[in-house]
Amino acid sequence: MDADSVAKYDLPGHLRSVPDEIEVTGLPVTGALPPELTGRYVRNGPNALPGQTTAQPLAGPGMLHGVRLRAGRAEWYRNRWVRTGAFQGRSFVTADGRLDLTATSANTHVMRHADRILALVEVGLPHEVTPTLDTVGPCDFGGRLTTAMTAHPKLDPVTGELHFFGYGMRPPYLTYHRLDAAGALVHSQEIEVPTGTMMHDFAITEHYVVWLDLPVTFQWGLAGGPVPYQWDDAYGARLGIMRHDEPGARVRWFGIDPCYVFHVGNAYEDAEGRIVLDAVRYAPADFAAMWRVARAMDMTLAAGRSVLHRWILDPAGTGVTAREEQLDDRSVEMPTMNDTRVGRPARYLYTIIGGAPNSQDDCAIVKYDIESGKSTSYDLAPEVAIGEAVFVPSSGGPGAPEGPRGEDDGWLISIATLRDGSASQLLVLDATDLPAGPVASVELPRGVPTGFHGSWLPDEV
């Protein structure tokens, strides 16, 4: 690629890859870090290797950025590539045409279940990493996992089980999996769908899995590219519900208006037994606009808008379509919540505005009160880009507020980066009072690219 092409296709400053791995201790803090925040915030995202261009916002080896907090101090920042087969130069498709699920990028999410910290990407196996972000290797749960693993597994806060799925370009196109609370893979079940679709996320409730079978399908003609999926008008759009507490349960499908969903907020069963799903929805034209950016790698194109949307499905009814409603008109993404409410009725959702690669919106963190329909926000300066805001419930430990703790009693943690990529801060906000701004900010030793998803990993007691 010549110099003119690199200049045309290179990503904006706040998305541009960093060239190396570093470790810096004793980070400066403005304000007061809550002493109860003792653990690590770790965030994942694509990061090109030295000598490669940062030309594709969805592709590139995964890089983990971590900040260690303890006793009101920010002890260290550390970043490490996830050393997958792709990082080592291996091809996802082997010489004999098989798919190597270890030769992927692991660049989308990072989370902990049982005794493992896993870096995730939806087209391959998870890769285990250490608490200091070094790569252990691919994880197939004792050889039982033979499909890819979604980057958005769902932890049931009551049972401790981890629900997830794998999708593929070849049969089986969709497989449901469940880990028990100890981290053993105890159930796998093929789900029948017509072809391979790009199913980025899904949802669970107390008793159901909610599937999103949407019209972005695998195209063999695009198989050599970084994103071999495209919109397919003929495929249709539907949501499926399946009892996860009944082995071998069938899926019941409900038709919906054509759309795409990257990220689910939450799902739950209401008092009438209906399933309510809240997620961020792209209308067909908005998905097409967003996908042009991802496929054409041209940051000058206008991005599509995505709005908070609700679907209601009735397992006891005779209908075959879902009821739909738009909950807001702002363009938001990256919904998060208090994970102790996953699959159950939850009052609050947190999203970000202006997080898309080429969004022209000023960035903000938005808190939705689902019960009242109201929202509040923390608005950032125009020169700042914000990443996903992860909710950390108050533990009630030293420094925590006294008295009963509500669902929003806790902290939001996010990385904010100047749009030119020159500097970043770790922000900690009081989730009960977003407009007040950060209670603390940690100066990071470098500009951290705006990536995808992360987790708060509290120290294990």
| 309 belongs to an annotated ligand binding site | no
CA distance linking residue 261 with residue 347, whole number of Å: 21
Q: Which residues contact 71 (CB under 8 A, 6 or more apart)?
A: 35, 38
Alpha carbon 349 to its chain centroid, in Å, reads 14
Q: Residue 81 is encoded by which pair of tokens? A: 């590539």
| 14 belongs to an annotated ligand binding site | no
| 200 belongs to an annotated ligand binding site | yes
| 453 belongs to an annotated ligand binding site | yes
Residue list, annotated binding site for Fe cation:
152, 200, 263, 453
Residue list, annotated binding site:
152, 200, 263, 453
